[in-house]
Amino acid sequence: MKNRKMGFTLVEIMIVVMIIGLLAAIALPGFARAREASQRNACINNMRMIQDAKDQYAIEEGQASTIVPNATNIDPYIRGGVPVCPVGDAVYDINAVNVDPSCTSGIDGHVFATAQ
């Protein structure tokens, strides 16, 4: 009887590592795109919350639609305070009540329009 040890050969291990590397190379760009889309949607939703808080502030305070509230004015109307953009922690330009807020990150797609 031969006393033979069971195990994997170097070639078998290299093939498994190559397959795992190939699967990772295919999957990582998809994860990056999903992350960018998630950050863009979070930014747009943050601007939507700011717009709603501005509208509520103007209604409750009896202000004209041309008033430009600051962050402390609308802070009570947003749970957790005025948010920042998830990309680079950019702040938002609040603008006047009848003007949409805007993201200062400068990244494409971080645009809020009430017509959406």
Q: What end-to-end distance do the CA atoms of the chain give, in Å?
A: 77
Cβ-based neighbours of 100, under 8 Å, separated by 6 or more: 47, 51, 112, 113, 114
pLDDT above 70: residue 115: no
The string of pLDDT tens digits covering residues 22-36 is: 999 999 999 999 999
Coil, strand, or helix at residue 40?
A: helix
Kindly indicate the confidence band of residue 93, based on its pLDDT and cuts at 50, 70 and 90.
Answer: confident
Task: Decide: residue 47, CB within 10 A, 0-12 exposed, 13-18 middle, 19+ buried.
Answer: buried
Instruction: Return the domain boundaries, the chain.
Output: 12-103
The string of pLDDT tens digits covering residues 6-19 is: 888 999 999 999 99
